[in-house]
Amino acid sequence: MSERKEKGRLYEVFAEEYLKRKKYKILERNFSWRKGEIDIIAEREGNIIFIEVRSKKQGDIRGYETVTPVKQKKIIETAKFYLESKNLLGKREVRFDVISINFKDDEIEIEHFENAFREE
C-alpha cells in the first residue's frame, strides 16, 4: 500500500474514533463500487450520514475545501447505490458530511462539517 493510502486510512481511523465519541454508529468503511467510494457511512438519530475524510498539513486550505463538485457527484451517486442495495432509498434522511483532519503545530485538529454539500 502506498504511503498516501496508509495515511488516508489512518485519518479515517481518527475520524471514526471521533464519530464514535459523538455517538455515531459506524455502518461501513471504504464502501466502494465502480463509480466511487465513500470513506465512512454512519447512522445517528435515524439518519444515514455519508462522510468524506480529508486532510491537509499546511497552508490556508482546509480539507473540506478539497471536495470538488465532481467528487461530490461521485459521493452522491455512490450513496444512492448504497441506499438502493440496502433497500433504504427514500426511507431515511440522508446527510453528506466532511471531516477535515488538519495538522497545526504537530497537533491534530478534527473539524466536522455537517451538511457540507447536498444533492442538487
* Share above pLDDT 70 across residues of the chain, in percent, rounded to a whole number: 92
47-56 and 94-104 as β-strands: parallel, antiparallel, unpaired? parallel
Evaluate whether the domain defined by 3-117 bears CATH number 3.30.420.40: no
**Contacts for 16 with CB less than 8 Å, ≥ 6 apart:** 26, 29, 40
> Is residue 76 over pLDDT 90?
yes
Q: What is the mean pLDDT of residues 97-101?
A: 93
In the block, residue with C-alpha cell 451517486: 77
Q: 23-41 pLDDT, tens per residue?
A: 999 999 999 999 899 999 9
**Nine cell digits for residue 111:** 473539524
* Model confidence band, residue 3 (pLDDT cutoffs 50, 70, 90): confident
* Model confidence band, residue 65 (pLDDT cutoffs 50, 70, 90): confident
Domain boundaries, the chain: 3-117
Question: Furthest-apart CA pair in the chain: how many Å?
Answer: 45
